[in-house]
Structure 1
Amino acid sequence: MGDGKRDTGVAPYLPPLADAATRVEQLARGGDLAGVARLLSTHRDEVLRRWLSAAGLQPFLRGVPERTVADHIPVLFDALVALLERSAPRQIDAEAPLDDPEVLAAAQSHARERLDQGLRPTDVVTEFRLLRQEIGRALRRHAAELDGAATGDVLAAELLVHDALDGAIGLALAALTAYVGQAVDQLRGQLAERERLAAELARLAAIVESSGDAIIGLAPDGTITSWNAGAARLYGYAEDEAIGRGIDLIIPPDRRGEVARLLPRALAGESVAPYETVRLAKGGHQVDVSVRLSPIRDAAGRVMGAGLIARDIAARKRAEAALRANETRMRAIVDSALDCIVTMDASGRVTEWNPAAERTFGYTRDAAVGQELAVLIIPPALRDAHRRGLAHFMATGEGPILRKRLELTALRADGAEIPVELTITPIAAHGGLDGPVRPELFTGFVRDLSDRKQAEAERNAFLATLVHDVKSPLTAAKGTAQVLRRWATRGAMPPEQLARRADTIDTSISRAVGRLDELLDVARLQAGEALELRREPVDLVELVLRAVAQFQSGTERHLLHVDVPDLPSEPDVPAATSATSAADTPTAGGGGLVGQWDRARLERVVDNLLSNALKYSPEGGAVTVAVWREPATPATAANPAPQDQQGALPPLPAPPVAWAVFSVTDEGIGIPAQDLPHVFDRLQRAGNVGSIPGSGLGLFAVRQIVEQHGGASTVESTEGRGSTFTVRLPL
């Protein structure tokens, strides 16, 4: 016994200690074990009686009446009950030691008594396990007496007793190793007893060697006195390389103050709570470990050293890191989702509220979490139905709206109701070992349908206007064709009437085709495509005069007037002849104004502006169209080309030397001031148009066509007095 290895018998009588902090917290979150403690106290005599009966059946107690007396077992039972009264799962964490001083003292007293009576350490362990078994049976047998206690509380109490008793057994036997060593020294002369004790020590050493944890014995000065196989595996040093060396062998230089600070506490009789740290393995690499440090006492109770138990937690660390990374990824997914992700618990209160929900409903996450979902986003008229549905599902497990896409109305923080698409998915959590599966959480995926609904409404309005705009000229063409058919059946038609009727058909069909061409242009511009302009010499004066004559022929309530001042002659530009004489137009004067433009699209611009002037002057009145030439100033010459729909800039044309300008002024309803900045936007109409038909595409097409030509369009208007639209085209 003088080889320096006396204290190798510590906890190897037991399997590796379970992590009670983790096991208990998993099984009973938030439970109260005081009720379980009172249950055990009530059935104390029954537990002790059944333990005594079970112990009496063990071979090591048969025929030895004095061994059937176990004065310290009742004390140990009472210490375990007291431990339960002081414990609750949420109060147990990785910093709390598993060994309780009262439990440890009672266990040591019983073990010492039994060894004095001649029992082997394995027999003592058997008695402790019988006590643990009877406590567990009593808990399960009488669990129904607990008023409202959950299965998890009973199971948590049983696990806590299990781990606390196992820890006490290991430390008690570790302390008794010294006691056995002293007994061996006292009985050295008695060969038979010495051999028996040596065999027991060998068994203790074998159990220590088989432990999965690293178990190290330390002298008061920090010298390593024992080193099991688990320590050799963890740190890489063989037993003969470690024993006799200081504990600094495995302590990184920056952690050496750690042991120097904690070892005196263990030598003073204090058990140091488990803590996580790093240790230095052979070869210089560091390993993550969870360490606990406890005093080792001799038979007289004096501290003779310290026991250091370390557990490799590298795998757990990797799992925790992976879990954190996964949580980070999931949080990033939830936070970056365009749809709202809202989670509520079984009581209907919000537990998750992502940024999309903040934007959609107007509540911050801090303001929403913890609030009842019904109050936040469900309109008042639907709240009672929501609450009844949740209660019905929790009671029956039946929910007709789960896992389905539904379109509903939701409520914003500002009181506005919005259309949403909702899908609710329950997240199941087990109610206990034998309990039914019930959802613990419900996750709702919510999509704001406001934009889609608005787009659908705009699309429907657009299609209705399109049908009207295309159908009208086609109806006119059809009517004219029917007149021609009737004339044909009568025999003959004067050539001038036939020509007029044919012109009407041609004009109507041209209007329908023009309307379709306009829609194609809008579609191209929306897709970010530039228009393919077919540039040719076009006389703006002639084009305007022709359009004014055509629109004047279709209205009697409006008087169209054209103001064309004398224009300077332009050399090198081919002369254009007007197809409409001055007599055919309200007022015409001056010469031509010719530029390189796309005739068809420019005609569409003029037609849109004239059509709007007449349409939004429902009471009639004058419409004035002015055309003039304007020299380019530095400000207007530097007018930049607009960005297309994808943000790309088309090539900039050379600065113009002059502008061809025309304007259309009416005396109609005008445009409200707040709508002026948006009149050229797609599908935008002024708020005062009432039932006047329109698609919101005409002015959008005007601006896009003009800007594709390198020009600009503007508007001035006073509500109730009329509007003036002005277009500038580069010459």
Structure 2
Amino acid sequence: MQTCLGGSLGHAVFLDRSCRYRFANREFLDFIGKSDGDVIGREVSAVLGDALHATYAQMLERLPPGESVRREGWTDYGSFGRRYVEELITAYPPDGDPPSGVIVFSRDLTELKNREQDLLERVEAQNAVEAYHAVVVNTALDAIVVIDEAGIVVDFNPAAVSVFGYSRDQAMGSQIADLIIPPALRSAHDCGMKSYLESGVSRVLGQRLELEALRADGGLIPIELTITDVTRGPKRLFAAHLRDLTAARKAQAEIASQRDALHQKEKLAALGSLLAGVAHELNNPLSIVMGHAMMLREKLANGPSSLTQSEDLAKRSVKIEEAANRCARIVRSFLDMARQRKTERQAILLPDLVGKALDLLSYNLQSSGVIVETDFPGGLPPIWVDGDQIHQVVVNLVINACQALEEKGDGDRRIRIAAEPLIGAGMVLLGISDNGPGIPASIRSRIFDPYFTTKPQGTGTGIGLAVSRGLIEAHGGTLDIDEASTGGARFVIRLPVGESTPGTGDGVSSRVEAVPAAARRHVLVIDDETDIAELLSDMAGSLGFDVSVAGSGQAAKALLEQGDLPLSAILCDIRMPNGDGPAFYDWLRETRPELATRIGFVTGDTLGPAAGRFLARSGCPMIEKPFTPDDIARILTSLTAGLT
């Protein structure tokens, strides 16, 4: 027995019926770190603890001679802790009855079992991660596409299927460039991937990009894209998170449309409140025009004029011109305010903008007995704004101040408009204050809320201040309420300073001289109003042009079809019977395309939607009625530029 136990592989011991060690091989002694003297003759409980002692004692009672039992599991080894052991316990001798003891062969598998357990836990953890990943990816609202370094799709989640229109089976294993990258961007994609794999440097990874992607049906959609390197092993992997921006862009467009509609609604409300004043402002200068025109006719009908009479006629002509210009300014201001167009920012001088607003409101202010004081320091920098929108804000604030002053009983009524540069802030401050009753502290925090108004029902929309603040903030500025030093209300606007030369608002500002006789050119005037056509002819003729006149688009076609009329430019009305301006322009593009680039329009219908769409489509130059000789000179100079 000793020879057999001593030569065994692993641990081997012999225990007598009292569970005392009678033999222990070197492997067992080394395992427990004891010598023969520490083990032989001692009970198992003294060496490895009571639990193991009880197990062996039980085996000694139950095992028949020569029988063996194999067991494997965690066992309490006393001071050695719990060990995972594989044991073969055999009753010895095989023919003894009862046996004199048991031979125990054992192997300590604790480390192996721990490694197996660790591996199992890792596998379970990996499975849990993969299951979690699958749940997250498959339920993500954004499209997730994973590709390898060759650009092959290795994952394509359900959101990607919905966004791009490919099934998962179609996408898996396909080249990403062929699936969703538009042809125009494929070269850049290939170069970027190659550069990153070679250098590890990328300008795209981790960045939020907005671009277009290709759908299965061939359509392009706007997307937001983020690409991340998700390599976790030898194979390079890249995950792209893509968000379809189609709905967001549509929502943004709808919000912009609603904002523009609200803006336009407030403008029309303001225009409605100004109609009576505008009518009065127009009637005054029109009375001057009509009266002096009739006086001129009577004086000229009386025969040759003396020098004194000639001077009187000249003075009356000047008064007619000044009154007509006043009418034109009022109409133009009214049209500018009513016109709906895209935001166009330019450098604008604040005194000019405020002056136009006060011109529009002059009757309302005068009839309410309001005195307006302005204070604009010299050298005030221009502001970078959309003049139409800021003009509306100033009009709204002055109207509000005027209406507040109407509630004032005694004393004068004053509005003060003052500006000052904010040095270092790149801003200009504009303050509009009045000496009225002011705004109670209890409602100051609410006056910019949409539809909040203190005015009687039917006299206010409640959106004027909300729209005004929105317009100012859209320009990067602020609109706040303050208390005026005079006790009334003070609104403070801060706007960014412009960076370029202030615009004139009507094209080239310098007067264009008449065309030299040696370079006389021919212009065709098309207008159904005979007096307008004659006036245009006179103005063009005074500039050195030869002029032909047609009363409609059809008449103009006939002139051009009769022969080779040597035209340098065409001035055309938009709305006419028997062939309007847009129809004539389309005919020119088909039959005389060289003239389609030399036609300009003179119209009073810029608010009409059809006229607006046509002018935007054609891109042709345009001047509004009423016009001046300088207006005609500018547009003819533009149309004939480049001719020799």
Question: In which range does the TM-score fall when normalised by the shorter chain?
Answer: 0.3 to 0.5
**TM-score where L is the length of structure 2:** 0.33
* Structure with bigger RCO (C-alpha 8 Å, 6+ apart): 1
**TM-score where L is the length of structure 1:** 0.29
